[in-house]
Amino acid sequence: MNTLEDYKEGKVLLIDKPLNWTSFQVVNKIRWLIKQQFEIKKIKVGHAGTLDPLATGLLILCTGKFTKKIETYQAQIKEYTGTITLGATTPSYDLESEIDKTFDVSNITSEEIQKATHQFIGEIQQQPPVFSALKKDGKRLYEYARAGEQVEIPKRTIHISEFEITNIDMPNVGFRVICSKGTYIRSLAHDFGKALNNGAHLSALRRTKIGDFSVENAVSIEGFEESLKL
């Protein structure tokens, strides 16, 4: 059983983030559970790398003195699995916003889909989605997007070491990606559609690894709550 002192000295918690939760909500919930269990007023808890609400999977949380290690974990290589849906685009590059354009996918072959992954391997320039929490001139990009304002978003250098197609069931394409910090899988999905002279958006995403940490060793929020009571 972990003591209050353990959490203050610092622990790394591996949480399997549920769908439709923000990373911030998970941090708040875990912090509240620890405070309730030990009847304290405050405890430091932070996460090492945001997951979008529509994504599930590995979220690393640090408590107490270990919050100083957050940047180290954020910088590590990440692995994701998910689904890219061809034939339609959305402004947010995922299902957060409505479909704005549709395309015919009847002529896209499995060979073309496999081949299109090659241009995304290695060091590439990627434009973050306008629906993101990145800041420009003191405002978050999604604030500009929701207000219908056009904004120039500079491309950033990222690195993708693996991009594997795991399943094709048109228009849905299953994938696995290993990539650097700062990679937007939503942007990858959008750009993948362009590479096929088509359109695409991200329809499912799960983070499976961060460095040596795996989602297989993570617990649900309910599982963490139960472990506190043991």
pLDDT-wise least confident of 57-61, 83-87, 95-99: 95-99
67/82 same-domain check? no
Q: Are residues 87 and 154 in the same domain?
A: yes
Q: What is 162-182 written as a DSSP string?
A: EEEEEEEETTEEEEEEEE-TT
Residue 139's pLDDT is 77
pLDDT tens-digit profile of 43-71? 999 999 999 999 999 999 999 999 999 99
- Do the beta carbons of residue 43 and residue 10 sit within 8 Å? no
Active site residues: 52
Q: Quick one: 55 and 26 in the same domain? A: yes
pLDDT for the residue 142: 72
Of 193, 138, 181, nearest to 156 by C-alpha is 181
Which residues form the domain of 157? 78-210
Q: Are residues 36 and 64 in the same domain?
A: yes
* 87 and 188 within one domain: yes
Residue 120 has what pLDDT?
98
What pLDDT shows up at residue 130?
79
pLDDT, tens only, 170-183: 999 999 999 999 99
pLDDT at 132: 73
Domain count, the chain: 2
Share of the chain above pLDDT 70, in %: 99
Q: What CATH code is carried by the domain that includes residue 26?
A: 3.30.2350.10
pLDDT at 57: 98
pLDDT digits (tens, 9 = 90+) for 115-164: 999 999 999 999 988 777 777 777 777 777 677 777 778 899 999 999 99
Mark whether 119 and 134 lie in a shared domain. yes
My answer on whether 108 and 192 are in the same domain is yes
Please name which of 133, 97, 122 lies closest in space to residue 22, comparing C-alpha atoms: 133
pLDDT score at 8: 96
Place of tokens 């912090």: 31
- Average pLDDT on 76-100 reads 96
pLDDT-derived band at 187 (thresholds 50, 70, 90) equals: very high
**What pLDDT, on the 0 to 100 scale, is given for residue 148?**
74
Residue 200 has a pLDDT of 98
- For residues 181 and 78, the answer to whether their CB atoms sit within 8 Å is yes
| pLDDT for 149 | 74
Same domain, 95 and 84: yes
Look at the pTM and tell me if it is higher than 0.85.
yes
Q: Are residues 179 and 225 in the same domain?
A: no
Whether residues 205 and 119 fall in one domain: yes
The pLDDT mean for the chain works out to 94
Please tell me whether residues 155 and 179 are part of one structural domain. Answer: yes
